[in-house]
Amino acid sequence: MEIATLVVVVMVIVTALIFDFTNGFHDTANAMATSIATGALKPRTAVLAAGTLNLIGAFLSTEVAQTISGGLINEQQVAIGPEFIFAGLVGAILWNLLTWLVGLPSSSSHALFGGLVGAVIIGAGFEGVNFMGVLTKILIPALVSVLVAALAATCATKLIGLVTRGMDESKVESGFRHGQTVTACLVALSHGTNDAQKTMGIITLTLVAAGMQPSGSGPELWVVAVCGFAIALGTYMGGWRVIRTLGKGLTEISTPQGFAAEASSATTILVSSHLGFALSTTQVCSGSIIGSGLGKGTPVNWKVAGRMLIAWLVTFPAAAIVGGVACAVTKVGMWGVIVVAVLAVLGAFIIVRLSHRNPVNSMNVNESGDVKINAEATTAAQAA
């Protein structure tokens, strides 16, 4: 085997695992933000539970997809080489980190597919991309998932309000605490069974393409294990900035609302994945939180919701641009790959440094509803 191929394969595996980590990191909020906000679970306990369930989920479901892009790229015409995958992953990782910095939930799978599509457009031209697939698998579901989840959560919250009308508020609150924990755990488990698979698929298909594994075989045990651990570790680290936005920024959540939101998310995700209708977990969960606010009649912060919507619409093209640029550089050869890797590490480092200016962690996650990059404004407000 050529040394250059080996370097690229190793690079892809490493970046795939980093992507897996950021995926877990970004998506902890989906399952646990409401439980943390209502105090049903302590912040540390919540992320530990979510991390463990993601790990279990990864081992439970190891049936990887046959294609990397899930029909977005005409894989019969364009062979998705490891350099495309690498460039796509770099785009997805940087977009995940950037949205985490500003505390906005965004879909990791949209970022991944965006990065891949961008890399393919630069690497193989527009005919490599199935734009119909982009429309039906990315754009329409992005809008639909919010509507479905929001409607389900609005109905659920309203019904809970009707059934428990006139009851002792504190009894209702504590009763729904257990239900909220269980439904949140279901969302975390389904995340593990869905999202860890994507990275397993990428690594397995890369190994197959490099001739290191027979075609058509499932993921090796070590691939399952490292992917599971990467996503679980990311989940445990907790993207606290996103957790704050979802738990506190959108609307004030009580435990019945949290229950309604998580139950709606879990059912929407399960039903859609069972019908082969690819909805994004992130958008579903954000939609149900907004819906639970609408159902209860608590004010929804539409400014934050609007910023989120913009982030969702921008995710795909933004990751595509980064992926495309990365692909253009990797075309140079092995040195190009190394340059992209160094630049990506540098970019990630800058974003993490910026996040230290105003850190959000398990201690202060519930203190306010907004995530600012610079701390000055908040400290000034506290002093006043």
Q: Does 45 bind another protein (CB under 8 A)?
A: no
Q: Does 152 bind another protein (CB under 8 A)?
A: yes
Q: Does 320 bind another protein (CB under 8 A)?
A: no
Query: Per CB under 8 A, which of residues 56..95 are in contact with another protein?
Result: 57, 60-61, 63
Cβ-proximal residues to 377 (8 Å cutoff; 6+ apart), any chain: none
**Tokens matching residue 81:** 């080489």
Q: How far apart are CA 156 and CA 288, in angstroms?
A: 10
Q: Which of 156, 209, 294, 344 binds another protein (CB under 8 A)?
A: 156
Q: How open is the CA angle 85-222-198, to the nearest 5 degrees?
A: 40
Which of these segments, 15-23, 115-123, 240-248, 256-264, binds another protein (CB under 8 A)?
256-264
Q: Which of 33, 119, 279, 320 binds another protein (CB under 8 A)?
A: 279
Q: Evaluate whether 259 touches 161 at the Cβ level (below 8 Å).
A: no
Range 128-164 burial, b when 16+ CB lie within 10 A, else e: bbbeebbeebbeebbebbbebbbbbbbebbbebbeeb
Q: Does 52 bind another protein (CB under 8 A)?
A: no
SS (H, E, C) 336-372: HHHHHHHHHHHHHHHHHHHHCCCCCCCCCCCCCCCCC
Q: CB of 251: closest distance to another protein in angstroms?
A: 17
Which of these segments, 24-32, 87-95, 107-115, 252-260, binds another protein (CB under 8 A)?
252-260
Contact code string over 193-232 relative to another protein, x by CB under 8 A = x---------------------------------------
Q: CB of 337: closest distance to another protein in angstroms?
A: 35
Which of these segments, 112-120, 167-175, 204-212, 302-310, binds another protein (CB under 8 A)?
167-175
- The neighbour count for residue 310, using CB atoms within 10 Å, is 11
Closest CA to 193 of 157, 167, 163, 231: 231
Q: Is 63 or 127 the residue whose CB approaches another protein more closely?
A: 63
Q: Does 157 bind another protein (CB under 8 A)?
A: yes
Please name the amino acid found at residue 131: F
Q: Is 168 or 376 the residue whose CB approaches another protein more closely?
A: 168
Q: How far apart are CA 188 and CA 175, in angstroms?
A: 21
Q: How open is the CA angle 286-135-320, to the nearest 5 degrees?
A: 80
Q: Evaluate whether 115 touches 320 at the Cβ level (below 8 Å).
A: yes
Please name the amino acid found at residue 122: I
By rule CB under 8 A, what count of residues binds another protein? 49
Which of these segments, 117-125, 157-165, 223-231, 300-308, binds another protein (CB under 8 A)?
157-165
Q: How far apart are CA 32 and CA 156, in angstroms?
A: 19
Q: Evaluate whether 161 touches 295 at the Cβ level (below 8 Å).
A: yes
Q: Evaluate whether 102 touches 358 at the Cβ level (below 8 Å).
A: no
Contact code string over 103-142 relative to another protein, x by CB under 8 A = -----------------------------x---x---x--
Q: Is 175 or 369 the residue whose CB approaches another protein more closely?
A: 175
State the residues that interact with another protein by CB under 8 A: 57, 60-61, 63, 132, 136, 140, 144, 147-149, 151-153, 155-157, 159-160, 163-164, 167-168, 171-172, 175-176, 179, 182, 186, 189-190, 193, 256, 259-260, 263-264, 266-268, 270-272, 274-277, 279
